[in-house]
Structure 1
């Protein structure tokens, strides 16, 4: 912490109604239900106290310090070092590695939560048909018989040892009591259904190849969306949050893709102090397809309204319903947002996009401090060295996504960005076009390899600690949260993950298999498994 005071009002101070869920108890990790916390600013009512001992704690402070023990009081790190004062419940980590909670700076999270069916996103990290089957079998045990298991995007056949789609028989074997529908990102770009799912699709008029079970992904998804209910989306939101918590993720910046009314479920969890994931919401051309609509929204809302759990953060990545706004529209938007102090991020996919957007940013920077407002370019995979230098000269940060993990080629400039000293955050662009699992994204940054194990970005590889910083403190900086999040230092929120293996030493290929055994949000357990499961009780 740098000693700066946080002057944002909590939702209770704003007077926004916080209704306690009927019959629900606050989960404790060393304090009784209802114990005094921090008023919900950190993440529900923060736990009183907890001490983690006998671990390898990757603090990600400026010195890159490793610690053995960490004490938590009122949701924040009270002490960290070789030996700390024991307070509250003491958890022996038995040598496990602890990292700050992971933060995805660019994801279409609510859209993913509202994909139809029970999404089986563990398929993303499957490296064989057998592992894919096991992921489906595990999910089938968690949901009622007869309900759809799905995984819409974020994986493809190239990541499997067999380099093919699972057969109808293999899908039937994995989840005999469930219809199963999977669709690829890249690869062959197909959807595939088991026998029960084929019966559903054919009844809805969607053709399915009787031999391979393949179908057109857009038609398959549309048929499922047509029968999706309000309660299905509510359940999908809960399952989506639980899944990313199990990966050690504690915050996501959502850059659009779900209509505003579909945020009702996350918003209800937030109002009830039951939101187990910090969310930063950007408003985009997905929700407001014209610039005039975005301007009306901005002029009728408070900048950065919310708290440290759920907050509106700015506008982007799109300004209109198209992927890239024309220069007059971009200029008008930039002048409007800069005058009001709003954060702006832009979908900057091509060199032409980079050049046009940098020129507009340069013009606005003559009269406004756009770096302080955290204006950003995202998707700068193909940016030229000359344009990247201009970004460095502007002093603005960038968002670096690893979505080419599922591609045959890649050129995300991780190394060049860091070597120029540009502030950057890590992200995925999940899920329809990229994997959601942060460990797959980090593996790609470190190894330069795609999901098939092919080296596609070798000259842009970065170290494990550099990649971890992108997915923690780097992403926190993009949303102005660096004073509270992104590292395990005294005074910051105790958002952290206890990992299933040592990230620092595990063989490179095994980074893809990392999971969180215990995830804390402001010191309170939002995911716990194995020997940590009792912390949830």
Structure 2
């Protein structure tokens, strides 16, 4: 290797106040490291957030970190020595919430353009109608109304005009907007009633009584068929391999899959067996919380019995995931106070608070079963009502037996409250948050709720002050590409977001009192996320004995202008002492 050119952004700090070496046996004269990286700014993210000059690696582990002079003494005849010429080195980044198997194959049939407006949505529908036989379904997934210029669902009439001879579903998570043909095929008319005992409702025009086309938390009522090409298992594995490589390009070395199942776990395992796995995977096993408690317990038992429930540094089945409420992007998150009548979300009921899928007693039973059997439960909980309900369920279990060491989790936790945060601190509850939601959706949320109700929206500073451990994630669901993905999996944009709290299209920060430091932003994607997956003693910082998961970047994110952080480029990514990018 030839090293790197010096740059102002990567200049090494002038001096170290203390010369010291973290060391393993190599520092004591036993053997020699495979690699030494020196003349660097190595951000250890250790307990004291120390900055070092050099690092030695042997096999898949870091063996020493310290000043150039001391680490260079460890070099032997076969040690490969790399002069980084002042570049910054960070621990490999970790994403606490993603959905790689489905995201990887989302565009397998055809490329889906970005949609920024209702006009873009309708143009895509017309384009699909022109190539699909009459009667074929046209489905748009996860183009959120909060991110469209008009900030609303496309209307039934607009969908009808775009594709009168094709059933159309504009689906955003648990909610959807349908055209007339889709409603007809679903048997949904003015007299339709939900009779399966599950959540949701069909919105109807208050004057005519006819369905508006919007379904709340009940897209299950419509049976969509598709002639789109489906990937084979081999093609799915190859698409997943490519996506994990794309993660490596932005510095990710570990991810949490928040909807694992037997089929997708086997897909990861196949990549591992073929030595093609380039990210470490923490699996959260998905269960349907609407199922009878006996079936949920059986699913928990399957997860516990899975061979990969025993620790494996590459694939670990350790969590349990279910849905507790709807979403903030669709106007169905469960709130403590009514959402309010809204054109943005199509809400007409002034008392509407969103949708809660699991009542308190069953919620308590589910999380207690998981915790008692050693799994880390988490639930999709977005609204402040759902977040508090989940925190209260964990606190109730904590009265039965201590839960702190089991690290019960809350996924998303966008709308929080002092009461929920206090319970999290008290019981050791952790959370995975997605900063990109603040970036993408903050301006729409301000337009709907106003600033006061957003006081505890992603409150990173308050959480840190209360000692609550939270990690940064993406909730990546679709497409490959640093900035074209939904949701964006770029961790550098995530760091920039928590450092500025500036939503897209807005010059004003959203509650700047919740801004955190650069060091804390780095921890969100490193040691904090390692803690969320019980691996803080194995990764998340650059210390001897830990896995050699690290990245080399093109700028000093501790000193560069804050707006430059979002565009950070990763020069190299290493996982377990092996370079996986480029």
TM-score under structure 2 length normalisation: 0.64
Distance 1:278 1:447 in 2: 30
Give the ranges of 4+ consecutive aligned residues of structure 1 lying more than 6 Å apart after TM superposition: 163-169, 216-219, 222-225, 319-323
Larger Rg: 2
Per the alignment, residue 280 of structure 2 pairs with: 278
Distance 2:399 2:246 in 1: 44
Q: How far off is 1:360 after superposition? A: 1.8
Distance 1:81 1:54 in 2: 11
Q: Is the 8 A contact 2:271 2:277 kept in 1?
A: yes
Deviations 1:64-83 (A, max 9, x none): 11111111012111111122
Deviations 1:80-138 (A, max 9, x none): 11221235211221221111011111222322123123xxxxxxxxxxxxxxxxxxxxx
Distance 2:520 2:315 in 1: 27
Distance 2:378 2:141 in 1: 31
Aligned partner of 1:349 among 360, 382, 387: 382
1:280-299 map, 5 Å: 280-285=282-287, 291-299=293-301
Distance 1:217 1:279 in 2: 36
Other structure's SS at 1:255 match: strand
Q: How far off is 1:426 after superposition? A: 1.6
In the alignment, is residue 445 of structure 1 matched against residue 494 of structure 2? no
Per the alignment, residue 425 of structure 1 pairs with: 471
1:471-482 map, 5 Å: 471-482=525-536
Q: Is the 8 A contact 1:423 1:474 kept in 2?
A: yes
Structure 1 residues 299 and 285: CA distance shift in structure 2, 3 A: closer
Aligned partner of 2:459 among 389, 398, 413: 413
Per the alignment, residue 10 of structure 1 pairs with: none
Distance 2:62 2:318 in 1: 25
In the alignment, is residue 314 of structure 1 matched against residue 319 of structure 2? yes
In the alignment, is residue 502 of structure 1 matched against residue 556 of structure 2? yes
Q: How far off is 1:378 after superposition? A: 2.5
Asked which structure has the greater RCO (Cα within 8 Å, sep 6+), the reply is: 1
Per the alignment, residue 16 of structure 1 pairs with: none
Distance 2:61 2:289 in 1: 35
Q: How far off is 1:224 after superposition? A: 8.0
Q: How far off is 1:205 after superposition? A: 5.1
Q: Is the 8 A contact 1:104 1:426 kept in 2?
A: yes
Structure 1 residues 165 and 489: CA distance shift in structure 2, 3 A: farther
Q: How far off is 1:373 after superposition? A: 0.8
Q: How far off is 1:282 after superposition? A: 0.6
Per the alignment, residue 90 of structure 2 pairs with: 99
In the alignment, is residue 328 of structure 1 matched against residue 361 of structure 2? yes
Distance 1:361 1:391 in 2: 9
Q: How far off is 1:260 after superposition? A: 3.7
TM-score under structure 1 length normalisation: 0.70
1:133-152 map, 5 Å: 148-150=110-112
Aligned partner of 1:86 among 54, 75, 80: 75
- Worse-matched range after superposition: 512-521 or 281-290: 281-290
Aligned partner of 2:567 among 495, 510, 513: 513
Other structure's SS at 1:452 match: coil
Q: How far off is 1:439 after superposition? A: 1.1
Other structure's SS at 1:328 match: helix
Q: How far off is 1:330 after superposition? A: 0.9
- Worse-matched range after superposition: 313-322 or 55-64: 313-322
Distance 1:509 1:167 in 2: 34
Q: How far off is 1:182 after superposition? A: 10
Structure 1 residues 71 and 62: CA distance shift in structure 2, 3 A: same
1:363-382 map, 5 Å: 363-382=396-415
Other structure's SS at 1:366 match: helix
Other structure's SS at 1:250 match: strand
Per the alignment, residue 435 of structure 1 pairs with: 488
Distance 2:98 2:368 in 1: 26
Distance 1:115 1:396 in 2: 33
Q: How many residues align?
A: 419
In the alignment, is residue 108 of structure 1 matched against residue 154 of structure 2? no
Other structure's SS at 1:86 match: coil
Q: Is the 8 A contact 1:291 1:319 kept in 2?
A: no
Q: Is the 8 A contact 2:33 2:56 kept in 1?
A: no
Q: Is the 8 A contact 2:288 2:322 kept in 1?
A: no
Q: Is the 8 A contact 2:388 2:419 kept in 1?
A: no
Distance 1:308 1:400 in 2: 23
Q: C-alpha root-mean-square deviation of aligned residues, in Å? A: 3.7
Distance 1:330 1:465 in 2: 36
Other structure's SS at 1:492 match: coil
Structure 1 residues 344 and 168: CA distance shift in structure 2, 3 A: closer
Structure 1 residues 225 and 357: CA distance shift in structure 2, 3 A: farther
1:32-47 map, 5 Å: none
Q: How far off is 1:183 after superposition? A: 7.3
Other structure's SS at 2:563 match: helix
Q: How far off is 1:320 after superposition? A: 10
What are the ranges of 5 or more consecutive residues in structure 2 without an aligned counterpart?
Answer: 1-31, 128-139, 154-161, 170-176, 183-223, 327-354, 446-453, 479-485
Structure 1 residues 184 and 297: CA distance shift in structure 2, 3 A: closer
Distance 1:308 1:510 in 2: 33
